[in-house]
Amino acid sequence: MGFNELLRDLQRGASAQAAGISRGHGAPARTVSARSGLHRLRCASLLKPLYAWVTASRIPDAERWRRHAEPAVVISSNSDTRSLWLAVGPLVILDDIYQRTGVSWPMHNADPSRFGSIEVAADEVATAYAALAQAALAGDPVAGSVLDWMRQVEGEQTYGTRQALGAPEAGIKCGWFGEPDETCLRTHAVAVLPNGGTRATVVVALTAQPYTGGREREIYQTRAAEGHPVEAEHEKVSGPLLRGLLTTTLAELGHGERP
């Protein structure tokens, strides 16, 4: 299934984006992207590995950094992410991401303690992760650790993306949420594919699917507020679309083709 079919069948009020990048020594860089709906979406969990990467140099105590950075990536711990975010400072973190990746993300919320307020586009996320992956390939030990942690993400937190992509060794980070004042559930994913050599391949999918059933939303919000898992609801609403966007992006990039 191609992008046209995936995006054509979106419900009214839905947004979806996909982007991919493959670059490095050898064949010319290749990029692909598609979008329907909003230009930017809040995708807090997708940025946690990037926050972990850039905060390492700002926290002198390496053990303290790792104590928060690893669970922020592997189990998507919000409390540990917040510890990194506040210890270093949001403007410093966002500027460091820009300096390393060329991607600039402003804060759209007046409360700087809310790391989840950053709004992004899929092609920006792909570009940032390509920089992370290439830094790891070039010998950056922190970038290498972050990618290793992404390879440890498992279970319902992967939404079956490794299987769909046919890449069991891929580094994965997924995210999900629906704020009480929102009528959509946001579900998103990034995958860093193994290539060998110096080439980095990244695919990203962002979705916001309408979730307007009053009773269902009430149950969802109660479960989320009480800390219960809600991944299954996101799988039901967005799982097939998320995987379809990722696999289509990877196919468009020609991943695995001979250079």
Rounded to an integer, what distance in angstroms lies between the CA atom of residue 165 and that of residue 193? 9
Q: Which residue has the higher pLDDT, 258 or 74?
A: 74
pLDDT at 256: 61
Round to whole Å and give the CA distance between 21 and 227: 35
| Nearest Cα to Cα of residue 203 among 155, 254, 154 | 254
Q: Please tell me which residue, 55 or 218, carries the higher pLDDT value.
A: 55
Closest CA to 87 of 65, 106, 119: 65
Q: Which two tokens stand for residue 65?
A: 């950094």
Secondary-structure percent of the chain, ordered helix, strand, coil, rounded to 5: 50, 20, 30
* Residue carrying structure tokens 């559930």: 185
Rounded to two decimals, what is the model's pTM? 0.94
What's the chain's average pLDDT? 92
Tell me the pLDDT tens digit for each residue of 100-124.
999 999 887 667 778 878 899 999 9
> How large is the C-alpha radius of gyration of the chain?
17
Q: How many helices (H) and strands (E) does the chain have?
A: 10, 7
Q: Which two tokens stand for residue 193?
A: 């594919």
Band of pLDDT at residue 153, cut at 50, 70 and 90? very high
Supply the pLDDT for residue 247: 97
Question: What span, in angstroms and rounded, lies between the C-alpha atoms of 258 and 165?
Answer: 18
Write out pLDDT tens, residues 15-54. Answer: 999 999 999 877 789 999 999 999 999 888 899 999 999 9
pLDDT at 60: 95
Rounded to the nearest angstrom, the gap between the alpha carbon of residue 162 and the centroid of all alpha carbons in its chain is: 14
**Does 246 score more than 90 pLDDT?**
yes
Q: What is the pLDDT of residue 44?
A: 83
Model pLDDT, residue 194: 84
